């Protein structure tokens, strides 16, 4: 841990740093998955879905920055390289051989949902070890991920 004037105990800061870095790795992976979908989607509504995936990826990139900066602010090292993300991400690998927009919409919604579920669990974990601010950050990310799921699912044809 880096020295800081943050008044949380070093134990709490270390626990938060680990939790933040886990979600940083997955957020970096998530952004990469979204770009994979963005680059490879095909279908009748291509341009709308292509642009949507790019906007969702941009939003997720903002989460990576917030998460990394919170970790660094607590005195942890923000571990945000692609190599670390590939090693630590808990997300299911994105299917590389799909092109159909419906398949991409399903895959993107699924991976967003998995990330969102883990973020909701992180809210409780951070609150449980006494870091309300990290819990609040995860709450903000959770709300944002839920919104992104809604935007993606709105592009799927009704059943």
Say which CATH number the domain at 63 has: 1.20.1260.10
Domain assignment of residue 48, yes or no: yes
Question: How many separate domains does the chain show?
Answer: 1
- Give the pLDDT of residue 152: 98
Number of Cβ within 10 Å of residue 141's Cβ equals: 25
Domain of residue 75 covers 10-153
Burial class (CB in 10 A: 0-12, 13-18, 19+), 102: middle
Domain assignment of residue 114, yes or no: yes
Q: Distance between CA atoms of 105 and 46, rounded to whole angstroms?
A: 11
Domain assignment of residue 1, yes or no: no
Report pTM. Answer: 0.96
- Give the pLDDT of residue 157: 72
Domain assignment of residue 158, yes or no: no
Distances in Å between the Cα of 85 and the Cα atoms of 98, 109, 131 are: 23, 20, 24
Instruction: Report the interhelical angle of 46-73 vs 101-128 (nearest 10°).
Output: 20
List the structure tokens of 84: 């670390």
Domain assignment of residue 38, yes or no: yes
Q: What is the pLDDT along the chain (159 residues), one digit of tens a residue?
A: 898 999 999 999 999 999 999 999 999 999 999 999 999 999 999 999 999 999 999 999 999 999 999 999 999 999 999 999 999 999 999 999 999 999 999 999 999 999 999 999 999 999 999 999 999 999 999 999 999 999 999 998 777
Is 21 within 8 Å of 78 (Cβ atoms)?
A: yes
Domain assignment of residue 54, yes or no: yes
- Give the pLDDT of residue 156: 82
Domain assignment of residue 126, yes or no: yes
């Amino acid at each position: 841990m880096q020295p800081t004037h943050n008044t949380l105990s070093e134990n709490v800061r270390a626990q938060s740093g680990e939790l933040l870095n886990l979600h940083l790795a997955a957020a970096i992976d998530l952004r990469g998955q979204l770009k994979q979908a963005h680059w490879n989607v095909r279908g009748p509504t291509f341009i709308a879905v292509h642009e949507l995936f790019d906007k969702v990826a941009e939003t997720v990139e903002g989460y990576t920055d917030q998460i990394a900066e919170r970790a660094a602010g607590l005195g942890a090292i923000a571990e945000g390289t692609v190599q670390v993300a590939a090693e630590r991400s808990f997300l299911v690998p994105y299917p590389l051989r799909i092109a159909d927009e419906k398949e991409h919409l399903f895959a993107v919604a699924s991976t967003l949902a998995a990330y969102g579920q883990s973020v909701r669990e992180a809210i409780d974990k951070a609150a449980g070890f006494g870091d309300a601010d990290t819990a609040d950050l995860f709450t903000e990310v959770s709300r944002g991920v839920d919104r992104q799921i809604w935007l993606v699912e709105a592009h799927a044809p009704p059943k």
